[in-house]
Structure 1
Amino acid sequence: MLAPLRRFAGLVLLWSIPGVAVGLQSKAWEQEGAAWGTNRFLWFYSGWVLWAFLTPLVAWLLRRFPVERYGLLRVGVVHVLACTSLVFFQEGLLALLSRVIGPFSMRKLTYGAAALDLVTKSAFLDTMVYVMSAGVLLAIDLRRRLRAQELTGARLQAELAKAELDALRVQLHPHFLFNTLNAISMLVRKGEGDTAVRMIAGLSDLLRLALATAGQQEVPLRQELDFLERYLSLQQIRFPDRLQIQMRIDPDTLEARVPSLVLQPLAENAVRHGIAPSIAGGSVEVAAVREGEQLVLRVRDTGVGLSPGSESPGGVGLRNVRARLQHLYPGQHRFRVSNRLEGGVESLLAIPFRGPEVVRA
């Protein structure tokens, strides 16, 4: 209720500007003498402030008969008729007011003669005011629609990005499941049933954790490390004497936000391509540290390393990581997979350091 009243008050103030200006400066009708001078301001002011009542009608006509729907010709006819009607209506009201505050010469006329005189003198000006009012209202409406389109476009873009991120995240599950189930089936074929059962139990825990973060694009590093440790414990079941795990985590980073399931593909890459092919095995080290405004995560292994020409491999998991980082932190991240001088491979991931108050769903 208050909003329409505020808008109407704004219109009254707006149309009062030309009304006051004309009322104070007009030298017309001076021949009427000083006796009419006290009402001269009200007379000219009233002619302008009446537009505060007529402007909403013009706005309604513009909304009711859009050019896109009815065409320029039909809309033009509507506004010609509306403008003509408003001219007669406005000057008819002023003719009534002339009985009280109008110039003395007009008070002597009949109502019809006074109205006709006002229409003859003011029709052109009233038409120009109508056209300018319609133009301003159209410009305001166009700006509003453009703004709405921008907001809609931004919302659709955000929804599309979220859908793409969800799709990328979901891709990890079948990829991860396939590799784990394949490892379990190999253990069964080798007759290592007890080990396979332990892996199935561990896989169940992993799936429970994965489902708990469903729909979350970012989680605390503490939660991501919990998932990673359970995954690596599965791999230690597979390679009990060949895989060692080291965690070097700065305590200040534990609540930082990271993409969910971002470390698992890096660790899987280290185990599958670094440790598994090595007869002697090796270790996988996971490190997290804050460097300025960035959170730096490293997954290193002491395995066989990348063969020449295969720097930064592009498997499903790593391609997925790259795509998600680009969506979440465009131009604000680093991701590199490369050989280490001392042997093995290092996966380095640097993203903006964000505390627990920043949540992406």
Structure 2
Amino acid sequence: MNPGEVMAARGPVGGATRALSPGRMWLLGMAVGLLAALPNAVGAYAREPRAFGFKLALAMVPYSVWALLGPLMLATFGRVTRDASPRGRDLGLLVALGSGFVLLHALLLALVRSGLEQWDAGGVSFSEGLRGLLLERGALGSFEYLLFLAAWAALSAARRARERELAESRLVARLAESRLQALRAQLDPHFLFNTLNAVVGLVRQSRNPEAVDALVELGDLLRASLEGRGDHEVPLSEELELVRRYLGIEKLRFGGRLESHLEPEAETLMARVPSLVLQPLVENAIKHGTSRRASRGHVWVRAMRRGDRLVLEVRDDGPG
């Protein structure tokens, strides 16, 4: 039988990045607006070096209005796509709705600027000022709306990707748990029937003390196995103790024909390993290896550290 190896490596686990909340998105939008408004304010101040704060506030007004419309736009985006992955038709509808948001943005902007710039005092009517804003900022407002839509679509895609990743990881964990329980359901009766057959053989040979020892070992083995139910990982020392008890039963069965060697490195004993990772390999080594020898057979169980990996090896000197 060829040696079997089980290797496991532990790496950093990255947590999912939290999605931007509407409040954080608003702050981010205001920060971007400030950066965009600053050159305009500096240019206006260079032409007329006074009231820089007022000029900066005036340049910030369009972005502040977009921030005010942000919750309404987010609600519209979510309603159109219904929190699902936006399709081409949905995006087309949102782009078409953008004209309405651009007009609403221009209307609110006109209301604010008419007061700040005192259009009435300058002989500019509200309708004339609104028309001028549409001509001045219509194309720019459409571009700003499309940027907002693209940012929302990107963040939504990232959130859905994280949710899918989380759902897949939970599914993998449930699948691993179900496989472990299925493995235990197969192995525990196997322990029992094999050992009982061995005990029956010992009794028939009038080897009663050895049969009693085998039953004691069986009780300890089943107790250790049942106590570990539900544990996906156990210390290597516990896994080796389970193997030791199993080998004790098999030694009573084979007498002097079986010799076992447990050789773990001391620094590996506290390593976490999958539950029941070694016993099936040891059982396989005995069944297909040492049990076929007429003379004494040997089984070695080794645990070694190789860098950041744990190497488990089960070897026998049987045929094959």
**TM-score for the superposition, normalised by structure 1:** 0.64
Aligned to 2:298, the other structure's residue is in SS state: strand
State the one-letter code of the partner of 2:150.
Answer: G
In the TM superposition, residue 159 of structure 1 has moved relative to its aligned partner by: 4.2
Answer yes or no: is the 8 Å Cα contact 1:98–1:107 preserved in 2: no
Residues 173-252 of structure 1 correspond to what in structure 2 (within 5 A)? Answer: 173-187=188-202, 195-252=210-267
Number of the residue aligned with 1:146: 161
**Matching of residue 20 in structure 1 with residue 38 in structure 2:** yes
Unaligned runs of 5+ in 2: 1-19
Residues 1-16 of structure 1 correspond to what in structure 2 (within 5 A)? Answer: 5-16=23-34
Number of the residue aligned with 1:255: 270
In the TM superposition, residue 151 of structure 1 has moved relative to its aligned partner by: 4.0
> Could you list the per-position Cα deviations for residues 5-46 of structure 1 after superposition, in whole angstroms to 9, with x for gaps in the alignment?
44422221112222233344369xx9xx99999965544432
User: Quick one: distance in 2 between partners of 1:38 and 1:80?
Assistant: 36
State the one-letter code of the partner of 2:197.
Answer: N
User: Quick one: distance in 2 between partners of 1:121 and 1:65?
Assistant: 30
Answer yes or no: is the 8 Å Cα contact 1:290–1:296 preserved in 2: yes
Number of the residue aligned with 1:62: 77
Moved more, 161-170 or 131-140: 161-170
Aligned with residue 304 of structure 2, among 290, 312, 316:
290
Answer yes or no: is the 8 Å Cα contact 2:234–2:274 preserved in 1: yes
Moved more, 73-82 or 121-130: 73-82
Answer yes or no: is the 8 Å Cα contact 1:95–1:115 preserved in 2: yes
* Cα root mean square deviation, aligned: 4.1
User: Quick one: distance in 2 between partners of 1:70 and 1:144?
Assistant: 13
In the TM superposition, residue 213 of structure 1 has moved relative to its aligned partner by: 1.9
Q: Which has the higher contact order (CA 8 A, sep 6+)?
A: 2
In the TM superposition, residue 260 of structure 1 has moved relative to its aligned partner by: 3.2
Number of the residue aligned with 1:48: 63
User: Quick one: distance in 2 between partners of 1:101 and 1:3?
Assistant: 31
Number of the residue aligned with 1:171: 186
In the TM superposition, residue 206 of structure 1 has moved relative to its aligned partner by: 0.7
In the TM superposition, residue 208 of structure 1 has moved relative to its aligned partner by: 0.6
Answer yes or no: is the 8 Å Cα contact 1:286–1:300 preserved in 2: yes
**Matching of residue 91 in structure 1 with residue 109 in structure 2:** no
Number of the residue aligned with 2:4: none
Answer yes or no: is the 8 Å Cα contact 1:274–1:301 preserved in 2: yes
User: Quick one: distance in 2 between partners of 1:71 and 1:273?
Assistant: 58
Aligned to 1:50, the other structure's residue is in SS state: helix
Distance 1:63 1:201, change over 3 A: same
User: Quick one: distance in 2 between partners of 1:37 and 1:226?
Assistant: 78
Answer yes or no: is the 8 Å Cα contact 1:15–1:51 preserved in 2: no
In the TM superposition, residue 50 of structure 1 has moved relative to its aligned partner by: 1.8
State the one-letter code of the partner of 1:282.
Answer: R
Aligned to 1:284, the other structure's residue is in SS state: strand
Answer yes or no: is the 8 Å Cα contact 2:236–2:269 preserved in 1: yes
Number of the residue aligned with 1:359: none
Say how many residue pairs are matched: 298
User: Quick one: distance in 2 between partners of 1:212 and 1:129?
Assistant: 63
State the one-letter code of the partner of 2:266.
Answer: P
Distance 1:80 1:259, change over 3 A: closer
Answer yes or no: is the 8 Å Cα contact 1:283–1:301 preserved in 2: yes
In the TM superposition, residue 130 of structure 1 has moved relative to its aligned partner by: 1.9
In the TM superposition, residue 74 of structure 1 has moved relative to its aligned partner by: 7.3
Unaligned runs of 5+ in 1: 312-361
Distance 1:72 1:4, change over 3 A: closer
**TM-score for the superposition, normalised by structure 2:** 0.71
State the one-letter code of the partner of 1:235.
Answer: E
Aligned to 1:55, the other structure's residue is in SS state: helix
Distance 1:89 1:195, change over 3 A: same
User: Quick one: distance in 1 between partners of 2:65 and 2:26?
Assistant: 12
Aligned with residue 123 of structure 1, among 138, 148, 162:
138
Answer yes or no: is the 8 Å Cα contact 1:106–1:114 preserved in 2: no
In the TM superposition, residue 137 of structure 1 has moved relative to its aligned partner by: 2.0
User: Quick one: distance in 1 between partners of 2:282 and 2:104?
Assistant: 81
In the TM superposition, residue 227 of structure 1 has moved relative to its aligned partner by: 1.7
Percent sequence identity is 32
